[in-house]
Amino acid sequence: MRNKLPYLFLFASGIVLWSACSQKTMSIDVLCEKGSKGDYEIKWELYPEPENAIVEIFSSDNDSTFFSTPTVIAKSDDYIAAMNLPDSARRQFFKLRIDKIWSGVISNRFFNLDSVHNFRDLGGYYTSNGQQVRWGKIFRSGNFRHMTANDRDEINRLHIKTHIDIRVQEVRPLNNPLNVEHYYRLPIGQDNFTSIVPQIREGRFMRGDAVIYTQDLYKEFVDNYTEQFAAFFDYLCHEDNYPILFGCHLGKEQAGLASYFLLYTLGVPVETIEDDYLASNRGINKSSLVPDITNLPESSQEALLLISNTDISYLRFALSCIRKKRGTLDEYLEKDLKITPEKQIRLRKILLYNTVED
């Protein structure tokens, strides 16, 4: 799907069947984004593309029940529809119907926050067998040290019950910044980032240093923090903990690896998981990390971008460390992270819709 809608948006649908009386199938790729004033924009691509088909868009503030009357009606070759729902303070979910074909559940992945990097929903992805990850159950993000009142209000609307904080050890740790019912601290890694920024400014940390630094970081996660990742999955196996939020400093390293492990366990295809990993490049406001970045030498700018970006080579390096340690990712997940077949079944029961049409 990378050749269609770009990876940094939601690929919200796979293959959806016609009604039982038909043998036809259609692929519906959908992206949904939410603006700052209750406005939603939905874009779609259809294959094979029908002629003069009507697209009905149904909305709801509940991902399980939708209104019987469409909120918007468009033509299939419009490829986009905009909706303004300012009266609804609750998050909106959507379904598309094209003739007798239904999409899966659609919603916005990213949230418009002022000072929290990379806050997004892990829902909406499809597994290899056509099930869909539930929206509004599990979120990932960066840290909340500079959270604004607007950020807090937006997050509170999601009714998060559990925050699993996997940031590195810090001198001034935050303690339950979202004031949720359950707050679990699972530090993964050591705090090196704050000491690196001054080195970058002084020109003592270059492109090669950034690559080595990131590779060492991932190897350390894989080799030395399996107990923390295992505890993370123990929390995920308790249904009473949901909705769950987990995150690290920028929501891309520890959270990126944890997301990979989780989506893989749920049966999401590797290509889709890689797209989710790369989506952090959209969610991180790099100019806010070092406000005067444009005044730094080009080599320093390049080094900073390398340690604040996600690159597929970093993820694949981590996976190579896993294969070197255990042979396969499946063995690593079961032997080191204690994700047994029973836990896998439980996670899929909690986090997947029962069917594509559920």
pLDDT in tens, 194-222: 778 788 888 888 888 889 999 999 999 99
What is the residue-averaged pLDDT of the chain?
Answer: 88
Tell me, which fold does domain 120-351 have in CATH?
Protein-Tyrosine Phosphatase; Chain A (3.90.190)
- Give, in degrees to the nearest 5, the angle at Cα 266 between 247 and 347: 75
Q: Indicate the length of the chain as a whole number.
A: 358
Instruction: Check the CA dihedral 144-148-149-152 and report its sign.
Output: negative
pLDDT in tens, 61-102: 999 999 899 999 999 999 999 988 765 678 999 999 998 899
Per-residue pLDDT at 171: 53
As beta bridge partners, residue 145 has none
pLDDT in tens, 135-157: 999 999 999 989 999 999 999 99
Per-residue pLDDT at 15: 42
Give me Rg for the CA atoms of the chain.
Answer: 21
Measure the CA–CA gap between 251 and 135, rounded to whole angstroms. Answer: 19
Q: How confident is the model at residue 313 (pLDDT cuts 50, 70, 90)?
A: very high
> Do the domains spanning 15-102 and 120-351 agree at the CATH topology level?
no
Which amino acid appears at position 52 of this protein?
Answer: N
To the nearest whole percent, how much of the chain has pLDDT over 70?
Answer: 89
Q: How confident is the model at residue 191 (pLDDT cuts 50, 70, 90)?
A: low
Per-residue pLDDT at 287: 72
CB-count exposure of residue 96 (10 Å: 0-12, 13-18, 19+): buried
Q: Where are the domains of the chain?
A: 15-102, 120-351
In the predicted model, is pLDDT for residue 254 greater than 60?
yes
Per-residue pLDDT at 60: 94
In the predicted model, is pLDDT for residue 6 greater than 50?
no
Q: What is the CATH number of domain 15-102?
A: 2.60.40
Per-residue pLDDT at 170: 67
Q: DSSP alpha helices (H): ranges in the chain?
A: 149-156, 193-201, 207-224, 226-236, 254-266, 270-278, 280-283, 286-289, 298-308, 312-326, 329-335, 341-351
Region 261-275: what's the mean pLDDT? 98
Measure the CA–CA gap between 149 and 202, rounded to whole angstroms. Answer: 35
Per-residue pLDDT at 17: 38
pTM greater than 0.95 (yes/no): no
Contact (Cβ atoms closer than 8 angstroms) between residue 155 and residue 133: no
